[in-house]
Amino acid sequence: MRRHWLFVLVLVGAGALRALVILGYRPAQLYWYDSFTYLDTAMHMKPSGQFHPAGYSFLLWLLRPFHSVVVIAGVQHVMGLGIALMVYVTLRHRSLPGWGASLATLPVLFDPGFLRLEHAVLSDTQLIFLVVAGLTVLLWRRVPTVPAAACAGLLMAFAGLTRTVAVPLLGLLLLYLLVRRAGWRPVVALALAGVVPLTAYASWYAAHHGRFALSGSDGVALWARTMTFADCSVIRPPAREAVLCPNGTVVDAASEYVWAADASLNRLPGDRFSHNDLARSFALRAIAAQPFDYLRDVAADTSLAFAWTPVAHPKRVNPSLTFPRGSWPLPDFPLIDKVRREYDPGIRALSSVEPYAGLLAAYPYPSFLHGPLLGAVLLLGGLGVLRRRRTALLPWAVALFLLVAPVAALDFDNRYVLPAFPVACVAAALALRGSQRGSGRGPQE
């Protein structure tokens, strides 16, 4: 306690804030259609043929005996505290002082964006937890052991089964081991531990949907990304793909093309996801023909993450880093009634509860620093990498990937920015610590 009293105080304060969120917003935030797809998959445990792999639904399946989305939110709030704890112990093990390691945990502990995400039935908190856990294991020693490498590979595979955007992180970790000259055994252990679960899941997916894959939407998502720049006079697609060319439909964000009724993909017969392979083929052809246009749009949308206040993208979304008051009704869809019957009869519209919501509404977090703070910690980590601070390399690369990859695969979303934050804080802290000699408690470079 004498060594860690500051972090204990910070953690207690963050726990009290999460208790207020649980009391102030009942039952939990549920989004159409993501939350209900996750819950429906958890009830029947078969892979969804559309956007989401079943990794998060497996957690919901484990919590199914409680029949409560409130319990799900509670578990995720504990996971949020666990993410901060892993950041802290990693930095302390790397000989950072207690105040510095505690400072690096503040965004994930006190940013309203994280608290609201933890209170929602969405996969993001589990994704962040798994990625940070994998990095904690891999960064514990200067040269990872075989068991550590295998554990990190397994955690990253589970992260990929939570959100497919995390799958390439396995390659990033393998590259890191090669750069650090960890030896062939850790490399093989990480590769096997990562590839086997992904292969097993893809085989399970194929048994249900006839296609060896993790999801059935990667092509549709990438096609939507290209609709912001695609010029078929440059691309010159074959006739079977030409039907996916832009047709004059204009929306305010790339992701909106997935759902726009008049978009070329949605005018084809059948379900939009039944054309996933065709959409992927068109998208890859468009990117190959117009690589600079693609990179320009990805860079422009990624830059939205650094705005002083969250940007509405698309405009129908009202981003906020505060705690609002009111009630948010659920839409009327048969799937919602089905999930209510099978998973939690208490599912209803989210409502704020006084006096707790009033206390949260007065919460003074400086939300205007959200974007600039992310930019600052990424810049610090990047400067550390340029100055050959080797321990900062992996978390900084992972943070940058987590920030850019969702935009490159589909579009910018304020919630997709959050997974990069805690990892970027680790990179920045390690970069500032650099190659100074530690106290002897952690590994030396």
- Cα 145 from Cα 89, distance rounded (Å): 18
Q: Are the C-beta atoms of residues 109 and 80 closer than 8 Å to each other? A: yes
Give pTM, 2 decimals: 0.94
DSSP 266-325: GGSSS-GGGGHHHHHHHHHHHHHH-HHHHHHHHHHHHGGGG-SS---SSTT----SS---
Query: SS in 3 state form for 92-128?
Result: HHCCCCHHHHHHHHHHHHHCHHHHHHHCECCCHHHHH
Note down pLDDT in tens along the chain; length 445 residues. 778 999 999 999 999 999 999 999 999 999 988 999 999 999 988 887 677 899 999 999 999 999 999 999 999 999 999 999 999 999 999 989 999 999 999 999 999 999 999 999 999 999 999 999 999 999 999 889 999 999 999 999 999 999 999 999 999 999 999 988 889 999 999 999 999 999 999 999 999 988 899 988 899 999 999 999 999 999 999 999 999 999 999 999 999 999 999 999 999 999 888 999 999 999 999 999 999 999 999 999 999 999 988 889 998 888 877 899 999 999 989 999 999 999 999 999 999 999 999 999 999 887 667 899 999 999 999 999 888 778 899 999 999 999 999 999 999 999 999 999 999 999 999 998 764 444 334 443 4
Q: pLDDT tens digit string along 179-196?
A: 888 899 999 999 999 999
Query: 3-state DSSP: the chain helix, strand, coil percent, rounded to 5?
Result: 65, 0, 30
How far from the centroid of its chain's Cα atoms is residue 331's Cα? 25
Q: Of the candidates 430, 416, 415, 413, which has an alpha carbon nearest to the alpha carbon of residue 377?
A: 430
pLDDT in tens, 61-118: 999 999 999 999 999 999 999 999 999 999 999 989 999 999 999 999 999 999 999 9
